[in-house]
């Protein structure tokens, strides 16, 4: 098994290195005038060398995120939106996994209708972010997406078995033992800085509220989201709105949400753009999307939960479009001839 893994890792040089070099060249040309980003792309930060994983992996998964957003929008404008979305910089600057999260979440959603087994596999792979999956199973059950659920469960089982085979059960024991300590450090003691977290829980703590108050607000929010998503996924609402609501709800439900995770907010925004392209944009929809992007862009200047505000803006746009869609369905039903 060890030799097999070594061969797989060495084989990736055949595709990953040329692709990484290509991305490095165009990103370097684009951001050359900006000193900190230029140094970051050159493999240094504040004069210190960076590990390749900090740059190569995020840049490599960026293409997956761009392709998913383009597939959702269904037009070349999707690529432009994916490249211009300000969450890209926040993820690149810290070398995190936001692109992979967004690619898996978006890929899972666009595959549900036509390729449910693929959707389940992508959802299973997203289990590396288990706190994003609080509401996903409930919506799938409400929508009777049984093949998606089965494929996701099988994928998770395979991942657990493979990791146990390679690293042993001790790694899982250490993981579960570390969870309470990580939660204590991040959510109770605030060692990760509440201003950097973009959840209702963190915003409450950042404003001076205690842990009890923060949970008192986060808990009911999760309950309301769960009920709302179940109703939406059992309804005849368009799939674009179902997907946008589920992606946004997944972000709102977790108390542990950093700004780099908001690369995934591009997914519900892309579904809104697709819905607008097919049925016409509502007044103020484009400015609303612009405000959400601006809030994410200004985070380095204000160091506040502006990402949460961006999620709320996108949520409001989704709710507004769903109300318009629901009203149109009721109007059409009222005009239908009686039998």
The DSSP output letter for 48 is E
Q: Give every CB contact of residue 225 below 8 A, 6+ residues apart in sequence.
A: 135, 249, 252, 253
pLDDT at 21: 57
For the cut 60, the answer to whether the pLDDT of residue 184 exceeds it is yes
Rounded to whole angstroms, the Cα distance separating 200 from 222 reads 10
pLDDT at 53: 47
Rounded to whole angstroms, the Cα distance separating 294 from 154 reads 40
pLDDT at 230: 96
Which helix (H) or strand (E) segment is 280 a member of? none
Which helix (H) or strand (E) segment is 213 a member of? helix 211-234
Burial of 235 (0-12, 13-18, 19+ CB in 10 A): middle
* 78-82, 148-152, 253-257, range with the lowest pLDDT: 78-82
Structural tokens at position 275? 């819905």
pLDDT at 115: 92
pLDDT at 199: 93
Q: Give every CB contact of residue 118 below 8 A, 6+ residues apart in sequence.
A: 107, 111, 151
pLDDT grade, residue 144 (50/70/90)? very high
* 100-109, 223-232, 246-255, range with the lowest pLDDT: 100-109
Q: Give every CB contact of residue 286 below 8 A, 6+ residues apart in sequence.
A: none
pLDDT grade, residue 82 (50/70/90)? confident
Report the percentage of the chain scoring pLDDT > 90: 42
CA distances from 149 to 100, 138, 154, 287 (A): 21, 10, 9, 37
pLDDT grade, residue 46 (50/70/90)? very low
Overall average pLDDT of the 33-44 stretch: 48
Rounded to whole angstroms, the Cα distance separating 101 from 106 reads 8
CA distances from 137 to 115, 278, 310 (A): 17, 28, 25
pLDDT at 332: 56
**Backbone phi and psi for residue 45, each to the nearest 5 degrees, phi listed first:** -145, 120
* 53-57, 100-104, 188-192, 200-204, range with the lowest pLDDT: 53-57
* 6-10, 189-193, 242-246, range with the lowest pLDDT: 6-10
* 89-93, 264-268, 279-283, range with the lowest pLDDT: 89-93
Pick from 140, 105, 32, 40: nearest CA to 261:
105
For the cut 70, the answer to whether the pLDDT of residue 328 exceeds it is no
Burial of 165 (0-12, 13-18, 19+ CB in 10 A): exposed
pLDDT at 29: 57
Q: What is the pLDDT of residues 257-267, one digit of tens each?
A: 988 888 899 99
Structural tokens at position 152? 């996701």
Domain residue ranges of the chain, discontinuous segments joined by +: 50-322
User: N- to C-terminal Cα distance for the chain?
Assistant: 67
* 35-49, 51-65, 94-108, range with the lowest pLDDT: 35-49
């Amino acid at each position: 098994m060890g030799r097999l893994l070594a061969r797989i890792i060495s084989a990736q040089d055949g595709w990953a290195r040329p692709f990484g070099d290509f991305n490095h060249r165009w990103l370097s040309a684009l951001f050359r005038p900006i000193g900190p980003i230029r140094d970051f792309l050159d493999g240094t930060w504040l004069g210190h060398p960076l590990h390749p994983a900090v740059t190569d992996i995020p840049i490599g998964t960026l293409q997956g995120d761009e392709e998913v957003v383009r597939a959702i929008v269904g037009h070349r404008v999707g690529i432009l939106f994916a490249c211009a979305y300000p969450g890209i910089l926040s993820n690149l600057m810290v070398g995190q996994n936001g692109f992979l999260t967004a690619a898996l979440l978006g890929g899972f959603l666009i595959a549900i209708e036509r390729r449910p087994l693929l959707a389940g596999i992508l959802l299973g792979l997203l289990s590396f972010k288990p706190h994003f999956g609080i509401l996903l199973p409930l919506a799938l059950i409400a929508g009777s997406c049984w093949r998606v659920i089965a494929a996701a469960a099988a994928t998770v089982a395979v991942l657990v078995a493979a990791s146990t085979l390679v690293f042993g059960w001790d790694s899982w024991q250490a993981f579960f033992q570390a969870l309470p300590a990580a939660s204590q450090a991040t959510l109770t003691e605030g060692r990760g800085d509440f201003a950097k977290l973009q959840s209702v829980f963190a915003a409450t703590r950042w404003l001076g509220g205690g842990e009890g108050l923060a949970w008192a607000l986060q808990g009911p929010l999760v309950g309301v989201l769960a009920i709302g998503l179940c109703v939406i996924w059992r309804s005849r609402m368009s799939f674009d709105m179902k997907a946008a609501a589920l992606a946004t709800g997944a972000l709102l439900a977790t108390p542990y949400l950093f700004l780099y995770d908001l690369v995934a907010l591009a997914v519900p925004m892309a579904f809104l753009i697709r819905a607008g392209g097919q049925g016409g944009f509502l007044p103020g929809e484009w400015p609303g999307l612009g405000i959400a992007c601006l809030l994410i862009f200004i985070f380095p200047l204000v160091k506040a939960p502006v990402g949460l505000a961006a999620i709320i803006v996108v949520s409001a746009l989704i709710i507004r479009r769903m109300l318009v869609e629901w009203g149109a369905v009721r109007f059409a039903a009222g005009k239908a001839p009686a039998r």
